[in-house]
Amino acid sequence: SNAIIDTERMQIPPFTRAKLIDATITMASGLSCFQILFGNNPNTNDVTTNTNPIAIPPSTCIYHEPPPGVIPKDYYSDNPSVFGKILNGDVPSRPYRETSELYSFRDKSPHAKLHALIIPKRYVQNVYSLTPKDVTLIRDMRQLGLELLGEQQPLALKDEDYILCFHIPPFNSVDHLHLHVLAPASEMGVLYRYGKYNAGTRSCIGDLEVIERLEGGMAAVPYARPF
Report, as residue numbers or ranges, the catalytic residues: 178
Query: What is the distance between the alpha carbons of residues 35 and 85, in angstroms, rounded to a whole number?
Result: 34
Which DSSP symbol is given to 202?
Answer: T
Nearest to 3 by CA among 23, 189, 40: 23
Q: Which residues contact 56 (CB under 8 A, 6 or more apart)?
A: 43, 44, 45, 46, 47, 94, 106
Query: What is the distance between the alpha carbons of residues 86 and 17, in angstroms, rounded to a whole number?
Result: 55
Residue type (1 letter), 167? H
Which residue blocks in 39-166 are alpha helix, DSSP H? 82-87, 135-152, 154-158
**How many residues belong to the chain?**
227
SS3 29: helix
